[in-house]
Chain A
Amino acid sequence: NAGVTQTPKFQVLKTGQSMTLQCAQDMNHNSMYWYRQDPGMGLRLIYYSASEGTTDKGEVPNGYNVSRLNKREFSLRLESAAPSQTSVYFCASEWEAAYGYTFGSGTRLTVV
């Protein structure tokens, strides 16, 4: 099915461990985004990629790195996980603003 695919769906990490969240879209979208959602906080932008080969920081980038591997894939890496990074992470993609975001189904991450 066309859309945005995120893996894994659930993950539990110990403090200090590292991991990479994967995101892939098959809609030939130019822009891709990583958001985190915390209770009562809405969604906050972590990093975005306006096009293949470019990445920029969003509102809450500390503790994260990203890679736009190609037009389809945009990964988010936690180098040394902290309990404050416990959250639900959403990847989104967009062709043009007028067509709106398409979101993946999210990754629920718990850091203990």
Chain B
Amino acid sequence: GIQVEQSPPDLILQEGANSTLRCNFSDSVNNLQWFHQNPWGQLINLFYIPSGTKQNGRLSATTVATERYSLLYISSSQTTDSGVYFCAVGLFYGGSQGNLIFGKGTKLSVKP
């Protein structure tokens, strides 16, 4: 099956710093999503980005499908960005069958 590796496993930042999280995957995919799990356990979808670049406020993501990696950029980090960031990938054929394989996550701690 598809393997997903995320790096770094842990990251500690001062508020205001920028960071880049990486996701490598072992096979071709047509579904890639980034999630944030906050300290209370809630999982929020950040991006659906099987290829290309997207931006949402201080967060942006880039996926280079041909090289099998995706990057999540967090600029001007805030304490509310703390939590675990998961990359998840999958391969689906038509419609909405989007089974995802999750990486183990990057735990981000933003210090005030």
Q: Please count the residue pairs between chain A and chain B whose beta carbons lie under 8 angstroms apart in the complex.
A: 72
Interface string of A84-106 (1 = CB under 8 A from B): 00001010101111111111011
Interface size on B, residues (CB 8 A): 28
Cβ distance A36 to chain B, nearest Cβ, rounded Å: 11
CA distance A40 to B107 in the complex (A): 10
Q: Are B45 and A50 in contact (CB under 8 A)?
A: no
CA distance A101 to B37 in the complex (A): 13
Indicate whether A45 reaches chain B with its CB closer than 8 angstroms. yes
A-B residue pairs, 10 tightest by C-beta: A97-B98, A100-B45, A103-B43, A42-B102, A43-B102, A50-B97, A42-B104, A31-B96, A30-B96, A100-B48
Residues of B at under 8 Å CB distance from A?
1, 4, 30-31, 33, 35, 41-45, 47-48, 86, 88, 90, 92, 95-105
Residues of A at under 8 Å CB distance from B?
29-31, 33, 35, 40-45, 48, 50-51, 58-59, 88, 90, 92, 94-103, 105-106
